[in-house]
Amino acid sequence: MGQADQTGRRAGCQLGDAAIALGVTALAFIFLVLSAIASQDADGSAASTEGTLVAAFITKSEIVLCSDGRVVNSSDGAVVRDDWSKVHRLSDRIGVLTAGRDLPGLMSRVQSRLARRPAASMSDTVATLRQALVEEWASVTTASRSATKGRTFVFLAGFDETGAPRLFHLDSLTQPEFRIAEMPLFVTVRDLEIGAIATGTQTEDPSAAIVRHLDGLQHRQPTIGLHRLLLGAFNATKAQLAASNSRIGGLTYAASIDRTNGFRDVTAW
C-alpha cells in the first residue's frame, strides 16, 4: 500500500487562560481535522447518514469516538431511525467512524478479511479496511438504481503496535477511491487532537462549536471528568447543528479506546 498520505484540512486554536482539565493535565490546545461530506445518493430506497456528526477525540493515552444516531432517506431527508451507531469496533485497540452513504456489509467484510489474514501492524489493518471499502463500495453502487454514487467517508483511529495513537481517513471521492490519508498527531505541544466531520450545515465545519462548548463546560464545571467533558461538548454541538439541520440528531453513541482496557462502549457520562 505504501506510506499513507499525510493530508487533510486542519485548523488549530488556543483556549488561552481557560485551559481544560484532563485529569491532572491542562488542555491548552485543540487541534481540529475537518472534512466535509457532500451530496449523497439520490436513490430513494437508499439509507443515508447525510447530516452526520462524528468526532474522534484523541489524547496520548485514550481515544473517544462519538457519533449521532440519525439515519435519513437520501432522497427527501425523512428520518428513518434515530438509534443507528456509526461507531464500530475493529479490534481491541482500533475503532472506526463512518459517515455518508451507508455500506451495510463493510464491517463484516473487514472482519472476515482480518480473520483470514490477521494484521501484523496498524498499517496492515488500515490497508485491509481500504480493500473492504473498495469492494463494498463497488458492490453497493453497482446495484444502485441511481446514477449518483454519493459519498462515503471513514475515520480509523487507534493505538498502533508501538502504543502510539494514530488517525486515518478514507474518502470515496479521492483518486484512487478511498486513498489512505493519515493525520499528523501531536507534532507540536498539545494534549488533545480532534478529527471531526459535520455535513449538511452552512459551513460543514464543527470546529468552532466544539471548542466553544469544551471551553464553556470547563468554565461552568472546572472538575468535570474527561468523558463528561468530551461527550458534553459533542452533545451540545449536535443540538446546535440539529436546530438548523434536521438530518443531524438522534441518540449519541460513544466508545473509548485505551492501551490498558482496550475498546469499551461509553454508556454513561
In a domain, 245, yes or no: yes
Check: pTM over 0.85? Answer yes or no. Answer: no
pLDDT digits (tens, 9 = 90+) for 12-64: 333 333 333 343 333 433 444 443 333 333 333 455 555 689 999 999 999 99
Structural domain span for residue 97? 10-265
In a domain, 3, yes or no: no
In a domain, 1, yes or no: no
| Strand residues in 46-202 grouped as ranges (E) | 47-48, 53-58, 62-68, 71-73, 79-81, 87-91, 94-100, 152-159, 165-171, 181-183, 192-198
Residue 194: pLDDT band (50, 70, 90) is very high
Q: How many domains does the chain have?
A: 1
In a domain, 43, yes or no: yes
3-class DSSP state of 216: helix
pLDDT digits (tens, 9 = 90+) for 58-92: 999 999 999 999 988 877 778 999 999 999 999 99
In a domain, 242, yes or no: yes
Whether the pLDDT of residue 93 is over 50: the answer is yes
Sign of CA dihedral 254, 103, 32, 2: positive
In a domain, 204, yes or no: yes
CA atoms within 13 A on the CB side of 152: 27
CA angle, residues 8, 162, 7, in degrees to nearest 5 = 10
Instruction: Indicate which CATH number applies to the domain containing 61.
Output: 3.60.20.10
138 grid coordinates: 463497488
